[in-house]
Structure 1
Amino acid sequence: MSPVDEILSQVPLGALAAQLGVDEATAEHAARQALPALLGGIQANAEDPARAASFAQAVQQHDGGLIDGGVDLGQVDTADGDKIVGHVFGDQRDLVVNQLGGIGPLGGAPAGDAPVGAQGALGGLGGSGLIGKLLPLLAPIVMSYLAKKMSGGGAGSGSLPGAAPGAGGGLGDLLGGILGGGAGGQSGAGGGVLGGGLGDLLGGLLGGGRK
């Protein structure tokens, strides 16, 4: 199971859709855009020596219990989520949101009501406004997921021995393992969780720009 699927399995899509004001299919498509972006953005920061320790500490400050037995969206702190998104993407936040929402070259907007794949743009399904609302909702869930992995918990892909608590390298190793093929899954089209245009986008904006 890919990390995206693992996280989504703990998120009540009906409640998420209601909070976003869309149908469940649209909420799921949007989440499959936002989750890889968050994971990849955190990975890019964890690989930057200047930011790795602070991101590892931020992950450990989140309770892995948030995702135990299914996420209660009422317990998600979206104000905290907004800060996380800001720290992950920095001054590139609007560009990432717009790209994921289908404004720009990533994936291209679908025609009419055509179905959207996991790596396709959301231009016809709510676009950047939907992604902008979704990221702060999902960010604390992603941090909780990573906190649980760093502490050696979590079903599915299991714990990773190299992810020692308190070490920036541990978080980088953890993310490298689950995003670099260690989870053994794909989140739709592309060669992995961050396949195709999304991987190129995040690598260019975050990886290359901060090292």
Structure 2
Amino acid sequence: MIDQLMRSLPIEQLSAALGTDDATTRQAVQAALPALLGGLHKNSEDQSGAQSLLEALGQHHDGLDDGVNLDRVDTNDGEKILGHVFGNNTDGVVNQLGGMGGGQLGPIVRRLLPILAPIVLSWLARQVTGAGQQRGGGAQTQQPSGGSTNQPGGALGNGPAEQQSRQADNRADQQQGGGLDMTSILQEVLGSALGGGRR
């Protein structure tokens, strides 16, 4: 699944944005994607993290309708996503990933991650939606539950607490009503993506 996502990325455009060559860009992407997916998987392992992630997927579900277009990628949104995925440890993750390239990849990975993060969420939203539709037999699983993209907070559902509570209640009602556990589907998709990356 990581290979599938990599094939959808415009490497030449990424290289131009990063100011590096295609081979180095691919190396940085190969380091960054598993780290992003691993961070998302870790977040999905507790209920509040999973709910926030499902909310974020609801805001990114149509991001890849026309393929990956870097002109539409919001790196400010990407920075918010990184803050939720890695907390205060983003620089530590970057340093670790940079070491895979003999220390040369660090600055490139740091510029790449805010670009990749919204793309990964859009890709993940499509995977979760597709899995939910297959499992639900076409039930009401058109997209992961989520609010408007205009709501305060943005990236991973960090808006007002009352709004989040109402949205969580709505999600629970929708999941129970449709007979689907979107949290489990989310975890399975992420686990499958990471498993595919290790083979």
Fold shared per TM-score above 0.5:
yes
Report if aligned partners of 1:62, 1:140 keep a CA contact under 8 Å in 2: yes
Q: What residue identity is the alignment partner of 2:80?
A: K
Equivalent of residue 101 in structure 2, options 101, 112, 122 = 122
Distance between the aligned counterparts of 2:56 and 2:111, measured in 1?
A: 22
Alignment match, 2:135: 161
TM-score (norm 2): 0.71
Post-superposition offset of 1:55: 1.0
Report if aligned partners of 1:81, 1:137 keep a CA contact under 8 Å in 2: yes
Post-superposition offset of 1:22: 0.2
Alignment match, 1:63: 61
Post-superposition offset of 1:122: 1.8
Consecutive unaligned residues in structure 1, runs of 5 or more: 103-120, 193-211
Post-superposition offset of 1:9: 1.2
1:173 aligns with 2:151: no
Post-superposition offset of 1:173: 2.4
The number of residue pairs the alignment matches comes to: 157
1:145 aligns with 2:142: no
Give the alignment of 1:32-71 within 5 angstroms: 32-64=30-62, 66-71=63-68
CA RMSD of aligned residues (A): 2.2
Q: What residue identity is the alignment partner of 2:111?
A: K
SS at match of 1:71: coil
Of Structure 1 and Structure 2, the greater helix share is in: 2
Distance between the aligned counterparts of 1:172 and 1:23, measured in 2?
A: 34
Alignment match, 2:81: 84
Percent identical pairs in the alignment equals 46
Structure 1 residues 159, 178: closer, same or farther in 2, change over 3 A?
farther
Consecutive unaligned residues in structure 2, runs of 5 or more: 146-181
Equivalent of residue 98 in structure 1, options 84, 95, 99 = 95
1:133 aligns with 2:111: yes
Structure 1 residues 175, 97: closer, same or farther in 2, change over 3 A?
same
Q: What residue identity is the alignment partner of 1:12?
A: P
Post-superposition offset of 1:28: 0.6
Report if aligned partners of 2:79, 2:114 keep a CA contact under 8 Å in 1: yes
Point out the structure with max Rg over C-alpha: 2
